[in-house]
Amino acid sequence: MSHTTPKIIIAIDGYSSSGKSTMARELASKIGYRYVDSGAMYRAVTLFALRNHLIADDGSIDKETLIKELPSIKIDFKVDGDKQLTTLNGEVVEKEIRGMIVSSHVSPIAAIPEVRHRLVQLQQQFGRERGIVMDGRDIGSTVFPDAELKIFVDASPEKRAMRRLKELTDKGVETSYEAVLANVVERDHIDRTRAESPLRKVDDAVVIDNSDMTHDEQNKLLLDLYNQIINRLG
């Protein structure tokens, strides 16, 4: 009798710079699942808004026009080796969506209910056939409340600020630890307190605090959790 491994949905939520994207990407690659970075989708909508002059110099957003344009915004991912490149209306925008300009405007865009509604629909389509690892802020709570494995990644603000500082310094961006820590704390506050789908740990999520864990320890723990679920289902 042939036996196929069941395909599940793995939702990984957590704070910014908690290392969740790396964990999610590496797990997906190890178990042959699709990886979707939901934050990249909010970033792509932000880039669309910037390019179409829907964000003024003072940061105010022309929400009405953006909401009207939402059905015409196509966001997808192109697989390139072990990389996932975000596309906006067919154009690879991976590099632009990681830049400082998009980063500084994405929070208010991600707080618009209509934007969230549209992206959640798209994210759910990506997971229709299961066999997916998705990371974000509301994956276990809103996008896939029925995910078989939910992870909430935590790490102290200080550890996350150190990681972010290294990322920025590696990219040649000059900044200080104090400035990065202040930004991490501010982003945590915005993520936790926004009205629409705030970041929160759902009751059935497993918490991984990786403040003092090595990369390998994290990967092993995640893989063990995945195997436990598969064994239970199989």
Q: What are phi and psi of 184, to 5 degrees?
A: -60, -45
3-class state of residue 227 by DSSP: helix
- Residue 144 interacting with ligand DC (CB under 6 A): no
* HSE-CB for 20 with a 13 A CA cutoff: 28
- Residue 16 interacting with ligand DC (CB under 6 A): yes
CB of 160 to ligand DC, least distance (A): 11
Out of 8, 9, 39, 165, the only residue in the binding site for ligand DC (CB under 6 A) is 39
- Residue 75 interacting with ligand DC (CB under 6 A): no
3-class state of residue 148 by DSSP: coil
Q: CA-to-CA distance for 81 and 116, rounded, in angstroms?
A: 29
Q: CA-to-CA distance for 16 and 21, rounded, in angstroms?
A: 9
Amino acid at 233: L
Interaction pattern, residues 41-60, with ligand DC; x per rule: CB under 6 A: -xx-----------------
Q: Are 18 and 210 a contacting pair, CB within 8 Å?
A: yes
- The 10 Å Cβ neighbour count of residue 11 is 30
Amino acid at 49: A
CB of 164 to ligand DC, least distance (A): 10
Out of 73, 110, 184, 205, the only residue in the binding site for ligand DC (CB under 6 A) is 110
- Residue 136 interacting with ligand DC (CB under 6 A): yes
* HSE-CB for 163 with a 13 A CA cutoff: 19
Q: Are 222 and 1 a contacting pair, CB within 8 Å?
A: no
Out of 106, 112, 132, 147, the only residue in the binding site for ligand DC (CB under 6 A) is 106
Q: Looking at 52-60, 106-114, 149-157, 206-214, which segment touches ligand DC (CB under 6 A)? A: 106-114
CB of 111 to ligand DC, least distance (A): 8
Q: Looking at 52-60, 80-88, 104-112, 151-159, which segment touches ligand DC (CB under 6 A)? A: 104-112
Nearer to ligand DC, 132 or 139 (CB): 139
Out of 138, 140, 151, 153, the only residue in the binding site for ligand DC (CB under 6 A) is 138
CB of 212 to ligand DC, least distance (A): 22
Q: CA-to-CA distance for 228 and 224, rounded, in angstroms?
A: 6
Residue ranges in contact with ligand DC by CB under 6 A: 16, 38-39, 42-43, 106-107, 110, 136-139, 191
